[in-house]
């Protein structure tokens, strides 16, 4: 009975996500996401040196920003019910930092940063970061607050935070079909540095990675 209930919940989550992707990102994006589930996955590698000028965006909202503490994990899980609470605790235990943007006390935007070993769950791969690198991942804005540059607000704070600690570069990964994330990266002055992915057929898996030297690659994806 419990298993049956879990299967129903899984199916309804999957359906809900399918409709969300279809609604937010369109049929093309849905198709690539489905393809990604079967055989082919790739992400754009992006980077942004920390010695460049910080983004200059004024946001007319009373926003505050702080680091997620262990006592706030439950609140984070309420804001992100799609994320496993044990995973969040493990991230904090591993020394990853979560920058939390609040509006009138409620969480509206978050982003994680790691400076040592990172795992890219989507590709089931782990990487050791170079000295001076910060990996920014799992950035999220509450759907009703998207398009208000909240991510840039947080990113500017993170850039300053890590630059002042002596770090040299932000790195990250983006799904090519995720237009808001590509736009967001451009607004924070990231550029593409490579493509990373795999081709998987049953249990056989070929990893690939190639460099991108074209500084306008991100802009060209959507003709921006
Ligand atoms: C990607 C994401 C974090 C961007 O956050 P944000 O705070 O909305 O960022 P911005 O306000 O700078 O908007 C970025 C782009 O999103 C798009 N956008 C604008 N309004 C939007 C809305 N209501 N809903 C969705 N996307 C919107 C626009 O293309 C915008 O770029 P523009 O301002 O140049 O037009 C957010 O869309 C999100 O949480 N997405 C789901 C999680 C995700 O995909 N994370 C990225 C993993 S790499």
Helix axes 179-187, 150-164, angle to 10 degrees: 50
Q: How far is the centre of ligand 1, averaged over its atoms, from the C-alpha of 148 (Å)? A: 8
Q: Is the per-residue pLDDT at 39 higher than 80?
A: no
31-45: burial string, b at 16+ Cβ within 10 Å, e else: ebbeebeeeebbbbb
Q: How far is the centre of ligand 1, averaged over its atoms, from the C-alpha of 143 (Å)? A: 9
Position 37 scores a pLDDT of 65
Q: Which ligand 1 atom is the nearest neighbour of the CA of 152?
A: 12
Q: 187 with 149: CB under 8 angstroms?
A: yes
Band of residue 58 on the pLDDT scale cut at 50, 70, 90: confident
- Going by alpha carbons, the residue nearest to atom 23 of ligand 1 is 146
Residue 7: partners with Cβ closer than 8 Å, 6 or more residues away: none
In percent, the amount of the chain with pLDDT more than 70 equals: 88
* Residues whose beta carbon lies within 6 Å of some atom of ligand 1: 109, 139-141, 146-152, 174, 178-181, 183-184, 187
d(CA 61, CA 44): 32
Neighbours of 222 (CB within 10 A): 11
- Mutation to probe ligand 1, out of 42, 136, 180, 190 (largest number of atoms < 8 A from CB): 180
- Mutation to probe ligand 1, out of 184, 185, 186, 187 (largest number of atoms < 8 A from CB): 184
Q: pLDDT tens, 2-19?
A: 555 655 665 566 677 667
> 3-class SS at 108?
strand
Taking phi first (over 0 means left), then psi (-120 to 50 degrees means alpha), and beta for anything else, what does residue 202 get? Answer: left
Quick one: which of 127, 128, 143, 136 has its CA closest to 180?
143
Q: Is the per-residue pLDDT at 32 higher than 60?
A: yes
Position 28 scores a pLDDT of 76
Q: pLDDT tens, 166-216?
A: 999 999 999 999 999 999 999 999 999 999 999 987 678 899 999 998 888
């Amino acid at each position: 009975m419990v298993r049956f209930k879990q299967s129903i919940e899984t199916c309804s989550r999957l359906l809900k996500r399918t409709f969300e992707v279809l609604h937010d990102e369109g049929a093309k994006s849905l198709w690539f996401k489905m393809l990604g589930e079967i055989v082919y996955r790739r992400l754009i590698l992006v980077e942004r040196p920390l010695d460049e000028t910080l983004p200059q965006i004024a946001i007319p909202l009373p926003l505050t920003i702080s680091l997620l503490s262990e006592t706030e994990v439950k609140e984070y899980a309420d804001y992100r019910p799609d994320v496993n609470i044990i995973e969040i605790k493990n991230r904090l235990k591993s020394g990853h930092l979560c920058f939390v943007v609040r509006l009138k006390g409620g969480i509206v935007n978050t982003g994680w940063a790691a400076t040592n070993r990172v795992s890219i769950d989507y590709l089931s791969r782990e990487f050791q970061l170079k000295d001076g690198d910060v990996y920014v991942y799992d950035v999220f804005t509450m759907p009703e607050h998207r398009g208000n540059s909240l991510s840039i607000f947080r990113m500017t704070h993170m850039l300053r935070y890590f630059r002042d600690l002596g770090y040299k570069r932000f790195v990250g990964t983006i799904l090519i079909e995720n237009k808001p994330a590509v736009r967001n990266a451009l607004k924070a002055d990231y550029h593409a540095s490579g493509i990373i992915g795999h081709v998987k057929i049953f249990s056989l898996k070929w990893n690939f990675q190639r460099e991108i030297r074209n500084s306008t690659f991100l802009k060209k994806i959507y003709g921006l």
